[in-house]
Structure 1
């Protein structure tokens, strides 16, 4: 059929694709209605209508879309993270591995072959999509779940300013669990010797003079500013000799002990002073030998 259409239209010129498509459609109709077809007095169209059309099934209501499968683990805030977006599942599945099916804009979370959550794919990066029915009752306590009490308890180990910052962050969430990961990231900034620095940063953020919305990014930026200020602050380093004298340390082997000379003045370095000291030392040693 392709060669037939090309042969019939080879010598014609068209001003647009629409004109070309109309001409192709007309030639295809002519081929389908032409008789005989393969030695029989019947056309392609009539043959299809008589023997094949009745065997066709109805088209699906929705057009075909590619399906993407992913594996994920439900975090302690009962959300799975897909492409930076967190989608909620029933809190009883916290800590479990699940399958995620993405078809177009539909996202389905499955466990053991059963659908446990359905969401619309979010186009906002680093956002939360939380179903209220997935949120546990406030009185529920479980080792598999994060909670306000858990983060406040961890913040108390750092200081009151950190407790106030964590509480402020959670109070501003429409659904409290959506702030749990930020709390976890903020507390992680205290690792090593950074507890006091984190406490200062939180104190500056919650102060009345520089009130800012508490977030992981805000705390991290405040920490960086404090470190920059500390690095720019001038420091004085005492001379090595002064440190040695203050600590009462002996000079390294092979070096003259000049601590007394520094204290007595530069005249102690004169040849007379040094020679007299050596003679006195030698005489004393001789007397000790004679005794």
Structure 2
């Protein structure tokens, strides 16, 4: 058995060995003690055991609903379809982006990320939410932090990368280029025509 000190994250979990264990939400941002054995984790606050978890559980997260505020419990059990519908209400680009996030990995592991993205985007006007999603999708940045940074830095006000005008050189033919048909004809006339192999 070992003892470790840990800080409770804002999502009501502590981290141990790459796995997350829930703690009563009233302890968010406080330091707690973990009593760790090969089979269990017991969380102590103010000399009292406040949470017990099995270390051998499946997945990267062990969450007990009673540890979460009521609104978080409700969010936790809502499905992919619920969040897609909520994203669609902000516009087609937001809905498309959320589906892209879901499809990038296992739906359950992406659910928390989508929850954070959608609830953050809902704080902004629809035009900004859509522009931020277009930009994030264009650059392949499917993270909550990426979307948040685009909005925080006002990058959603800049022209979207797909709509940028093509460079002038791409529209005009190269200055010294010759038409291939004219080039072939002039070559034939200078060699006296094609007489076949010699």
TM-score normalised per structure 2: 0.47
TM-score normalised per structure 1: 0.35
Flag the structure with more relative contact order, 1 or 2, with Cα contacts below 8 A and sequence separation at least 6: 2
User: Over alpha carbons, which structure has the higher Rg?
Assistant: 1
